Amino acid sequence: MSIQKVIDCINRNKKFLITSHQNLEGDALGSEIAFYRLLKKKGKSALIVNQDPTSEEYTFLKDTKAISRYRPKMKVDFDVLVLLDCSDKSRPGKVYDLVSPGKTVLNIDHHISNTKFGEVNWVLSDASSVAEMVYRLYKAMRVKIDLDSARALYTGILTDTGSFRYINTSSFTHQMAAELMKHKLDILEIYRNIYESVSYSDMFLLSKIFSRLEKDASGKIIIFQIRINFLRQKKVSFDLTENILNFGRLIRGCQACVLFREQVSKPGQIRVNFRSQGKVDVNRIAKFFGGGGHKTASGCTIIGSLKQARKMVVSKIKEQLK
């Protein structure tokens, strides 16, 4: 489906509810805010509701203050639910329960595993980020980009491309960054807010997780695990997954890096996040376990013990390394 269907959907409707996936990161929040600002500039009513809180490193984005947390039985009046950066309708968590008959679901995403669950679907699996897609919308709808929109869009591309390093970075991504920079964007400050603002106690927590670093016999699979007791008492204020996996992939010879995390809120479930250096298709692996994502970054949730999940996942990765 084309961008025109999205524009038609925006033009035809008045009230929009915007959301993104659980464990919000830069692309989720940046896209939400940029999309929210685009709708406001078009004279629409818009509201952002997320299941999870905004982690501290993103609160420098002005409109994060306008984001509401999901509450059971909350009343929200809307025509269209906009899902950004969600590969399927389970990703936003409970916010999806707000959909009732007669509402339109608008699905804007760049995950290759997207299930096209909406009435209107715009999925570009070769876009670096959803922020890049929202930028295309600004251009197509001739909406002026201001400094706050530029910061939100830049945050989305910066985080989803691993600061313009990953394979999803295209010449278009750089052109977009170049144009955003014309708004006197404070790129160093944005970078520092997101990547160089880990608190001492969070860093201490990270060091504990790193001290339990493991690899498989071949050395090609790097494994991290977080047990439920470890996190129960502690409050983590930054994107733990991203930070851990980014360190894991620094290891020479690493083909795949996996984080297993026992879920505090859902006992008996293991969240698994993957990063690949290109050879292993981690979207295929995540998909096998009911999740998805991209070829080099993905995630899934496995019901079972940590031990079972590790055994199944590692053997699946090994199949691809043969």
The site for Mn ion (CB under 5 A) is made up of: 27, 85, 129, 160
What tokens appear for 12 in the block? 């035809």
Q: How far is the CB of 248 from Mn ion (least distance, A)?
A: 20
Instruction: Name every residue whose Cβ is closer than 8 Å to that of residue 262 and which is 6 or more positions away in sequence.
Output: 226, 227, 228, 231, 269, 270, 306
Q: How far is the CB of 160 from Mn ion (least distance, A)?
A: 5
Q: How far is the CB of 270 from Mn ion (least distance, A)?
A: 23
Residue of this chain nearest to Mn ion (CB atom) = 27
Do β-strands 67-69 and 80-84 pair in parallel, antiparallel, or remain unpaired? unpaired
Smaller CB distance to Mn ion: residue 205 or 259? Answer: 259
Q: At what angle do helices 130-140 and 147-160 cross, to 10 degrees?
A: 140
Smaller CB distance to Mn ion: residue 50 or 225? Answer: 50
Smaller CB distance to Mn ion: residue 160 or 202? Answer: 160
- Residue 176 host element (H or E): helix 171-181
Smaller CB distance to Mn ion: residue 220 or 294? Answer: 294
Q: How far is the CB of 310 from Mn ion (least distance, A)?
A: 26
What tokens appear for 154 in the block? 């830049």
Q: How far is the CB of 281 from Mn ion (least distance, A)?
A: 18
Smaller CB distance to Mn ion: residue 7 or 124? Answer: 124
Residue environment code for 232-252, b if the CB has 16+ CB neighbours within 10 A, otherwise e: eeeebbbbbbbbbbebbbeee
User: What's the rounded Cα separation, in Å, for the pair 186 and 260?
Assistant: 35
